[in-house]
Copies of this chain bind each other. A is one copy, B any other.
Amino acid sequence: MPKPTPDDANAPKLTINDIAALAGVSKKTVSRVINQSPLLNQATREKVEAVIRETGYTPNPQARALALGRNFLIGLVYDNPNQQMILNMQRGALEALHGTEFELVIRPVDRGSAKVMDDIRSFIVRQRLYGVIILPPLSENDAIARICDEEGCRYVRMGSAVLDDPEHMVVSNDRDAVAEAVRHLIQQGHKRIGLIAGPHGFRSAKERREGFELALSEAGISLPRSLVADGQYTFESGVSACESLLDLSPRPTAIFASNDEMAAGVLYAARLRGIEVPDQLSIIGFDDTPITSRVWPPLTTVRWPIVAMGRAAALKLIGTAIGEGHDVSEPSTFSSTLIRRASVAPPPRD
């Protein structure tokens, strides 16, 4: 009795030659079937496809990579403090890659190092990457895009401003989202609103700050320099930035923190001083990380569709390769939404 399953564990690996022999055609014809070559007799194609189906044959990616000079790997390059973002981008990209022949290779780099650019280049060149997704703040560096071009590697940059052609960008409109959030504060009656800005060198920090300033100027509210505190996108920096803001007299009745980690720091600092949130101080953050619903009170925040952006980024890369229905190009800009929880209330009466 022969082995029942053709795709047995210890079955010898099938090659394109086996398929060619079984189908009674040449290697190249099988190759054409695999690569969806348009010029093929319908009959031969179906014959080959049947054999492929029956045998469970899958082409060897290593051999293809060698012959094509290009691997079926997508690289994810980042150097980002925001773990939530990395994870969500991974998830989105992975969703897009699922069921395709592509795999995701992750590659953190050190943007402080003098050799970052060389690192990235050699990563791309050595692995013959099919494409790379670049996360902020690395994505804000045009030199990386240039490297990709030079090496003939597709790329998509993620960011909070349009830095490149649509085919190379997925962008979130942080500025508008923050403006909307701050307008919400203003509608509640707040006039002294503090900002905890993100670190220099992050475009997102700049965009969010500008959104903040925009909403204020729209409402005719002036923004004294003292109401702006510098942060580093970390919890600790949020705590100390908040403390400097609370030292003011009169102190702000609301604070917009440029991300949730810092917003959590604001909450923490407020509690240390016995300041009630939201009755005496309103808080809004940015990111909608899980922490916002774990703390008390749950934080009002801005949610951006990171997973969808990751999916779009990967799809932009492989879209042409997988065809079917993906001819409709992926959107490039994604809009965020204000998530209202319990950290915002009207300001206390003076």
Contacts and interface: CB of A to CB of B under 8 A. Distances in A.
A286 interface: no
Contacts of A295: 294-296
Given A122-B58, A126-B58, A294 B106 contact: no
Interface of A, helix, strand, loop or mixed by DSSP: helix
Contacts of A293: 235
Chain A interface size, under 10 / 10 to 19 / 20 to 34 / 35 or more: 35 or more
A285 to B, nearest CB: 12
How many copies altogether?
2
Interface stretch (A60-68, A186-194, A316-324): A60-68
A10 B103 CA distance: 27
B62 A290 contact: no
A107 B150 CA distance: 30
Nearest to A66: B62
Interface string A125-150: 11110000000000000000001001
A9 interface: yes
A151 interface: yes
B106 A235 contact: no
A94 interface: yes
A291 to B, nearest CB: 6
A108 interface: yes
A65 B106 CA distance: 19
A160 interface: no
Contacts of A251: none
B296 A294 contact: no
Interface stretch (A82-90, A176-184, A213-221, A328-336): A82-90
Contacts of A65: 62, 65-66
A63 B121 CA distance: 19
Interface string A283-302: 00000001101111000000
Contact of A10 (B58, B62, B150): B150
Contacts of A22: none
A264 interface: yes
A105 interface: yes
A104 interface: yes
B87 A83 contact: yes
A296 B94 CA distance: 35
Nearest to A65: B62
Given A90-B106, A103-B107, 4 more contacts: A9-B150, A58-B126, A65-B65, A296-B296
5 contacts: A10-B150, A58-B126, A61-B128, A83-B87, A103-B107
